[in-house]
Structure 1
Amino acid sequence: MKIVVIGASGTIGKAVSEELGKKHDIICAGRHGSDVQVDITSVESIKNMYKKIGKVDAVVSAAGGAHFGPLAELTPELNEFGIESKLKGQINIVLLGMDNINDGGSFTLTTGIMMDDPIPQGASAAMANGGVKAFVKSAAIEMPRGMRINSVSPNVLIESWDQYGDFFKGFEAVPVSRVALAYKKSVEGAQTGQNYEVY
């Protein structure tokens, strides 16, 4: 299969590209140092990415950010970051990419544990994750031409514990290699409308 991995330079994106690259042709996409440049907060940038890559069998999004901070200090402007990036950015990857996916192809988006297991300072990120999950579940029943759509919900990663561990007190971090297998299941499997939880 020909697969584009968006966010390929990140911890999860690298692991997914490596895992899927064992059997498939991978196009790495991202803001920096990738085969194709893309900013998922920009509709034009997403359109340009699809023009460059042409037809593919699968699109994996391991991209999207959100604001972390106390709820009492969360402003509409700060909250907008997660909406524009993690939520709308990933949804636009699907909406703008339908014509680029071959029959029977798939989209895999990324959510996260915070929507199910809240942490302090994570309300905005949890909102974006939950919105992506709801979109995936609903979109799955309308995907054309035998296409599928799923999401992966990772726990905090062992590889990122030094950076994010203080946010996730009492959580048991998971290895990124285990998270990558959930993306493999989504791309190579047959299920649709799923949110694969790697907790």
Structure 2
Amino acid sequence: MGKLSGKVALVTGAGRGIGKAVATRLAEDGAKVAINYRSSAADAEKLVAELRERGAEAVAFQADVSDPAQTGRLVDQTVSEFGTLDILVSNAGIEHFGPLESITPEDFDRVFSVNTRGQLFAVQQAARHLGAGGRIVLTSSVSATRSVFHHTLYAASKGAINSMVLNLAAELGQRGITINAIAPGGTVTDMADTHGISYKHPLLNASLSEWEKMHGALGRLARPEEIAAVTAFLVSDDASYITGRTIEADGGFF
């Protein structure tokens, strides 16, 4: 029996990257898992097939979490499929790099609609079904508390998550529900492949791998499974007295 046996988990943005690792870990721990994706249908269905082959119960649902109506439908589909909901892991997010003068209102709306508004309404919709012992984990970033060149818009969208969990903890705590956030550092994903180099200050004459060694105590990026392990802890009974906190899983980033 796994730590999460009998639990039902919804993981947004779970078709690939950290979300995929989280969904896999929760299934390994015994949870029934609803895997949300926006556009990577093939990846999500492949993950469902892999988990089912290993004896887990899993299903994939398409939804764009920037649309609260679609998020509500996603939660309802999960409950209809599995009969209940115990865990929400809000992982869906998008990156943005750009200097101040390049940021447009459209950029702001696009980033905040997913990274901030999308997570708030995911909590609102999930909370309709969560009971005592419910667990919510949102996704922040080390960028919320570290200065990164040309990363203002993204960092602001994630900084709001830290405030969100801090303030929602008291409200949800009255119902026996915990809410926390995880703030990953650099992680080996396709997003890191695309944007990793942008985290290095343009005036720093060093390769990306050299920069990683210079700015992290462990000198490397995280594996998605390492971020998933922290998430699995936060949704387990072992973390029953932790709420309103943002856990930095950043390899000692400085």
Aligned-pair identity in percent equals: 25
What do the CA deviations read for 1:65-120 (whole angstroms, capped 9, x no partner)? 24321122112221121211100000110112211213210111101111112212
Ranges in structure 1 where 5+ consecutive residues have no aligned partner:
none
Q: Cα deviations across residues 42-85 of structure 1 (Å, max 9, x unaligned)?
A: 11101111221112110101102243211221122211212111
**Cα distance in 2 for residues equivalent to 1:40 and 1:17:** 17
Correspondence 1:107-186 to 2 at 5 A? 107-143=136-172, 144-160=174-190, 161-169=192-200, 170-171=211-212, 172-186=220-234
Deviation at 1:132, TM superposition (A): 0.8
Report the alpha carbon displacement of residue 177 of structure 1 after superposing the two structures with TM. Answer: 1.6
Contact 1:2 1:56 in 2 (8 A): yes
1:1-199 paired onto structure 2 within 5 Å: 1-23=7-29, 24-32=31-39, 33=41, 34=44, 35-54=60-79, 55-143=84-172, 144-160=174-190, 161-169=192-200, 170-171=211-212, 172-188=220-236, 189-190=239-240, 191-199=242-250
- Residue-pair matches, total: 199
Higher Cα Rg, which structure: 2
Q: Is the 2:131–2:176 Cα contact (8 Å) retained in structure 1?
A: no
Answer yes or no: is the 8 Å Cα contact 1:156–1:168 preserved in 2: no
Query: Quick one: distance in 2 between partners of 1:39 and 1:79?
Result: 17
Cα pair distance change 1:84/1:162, threshold 3 Å: closer
Structure 2 unpaired stretches of 5+: 1-6, 45-59, 201-210, 213-219
Q: In structure 2, what residue type is equivalent to 1:166?
A: I
String of CA shifts for 1:119-173, please: whole Å, max 9, x gaps.
Answer: 1221001000000110101100110420010111011113444322211222442
Could you tell me how far apart the structure 1 residues matched to 2:121 and 2:93 are?
Answer: 12
Q: What's the counterpart of residue 52 of structure 2?
A: none
| Misfit runs of 4+, over 4 Å | none
* Structure 1 CA distance for aligned equivalents of residues 37 and 118 of structure 2: 12
TM-score by length of 2: 0.74
2:102 and 2:108 map into 1 onto residues whose CA distance is 10
Distance 1:162 1:48, change over 3 A: closer
- The one-letter code sitting in structure 2 at the alignment partner of 1:180 is A
* Root mean square deviation, CA, Å: 1.5
Bigger proportion of residues as strand: 1
- 1:56–1:101 Cα contact (<8 Å) kept: yes
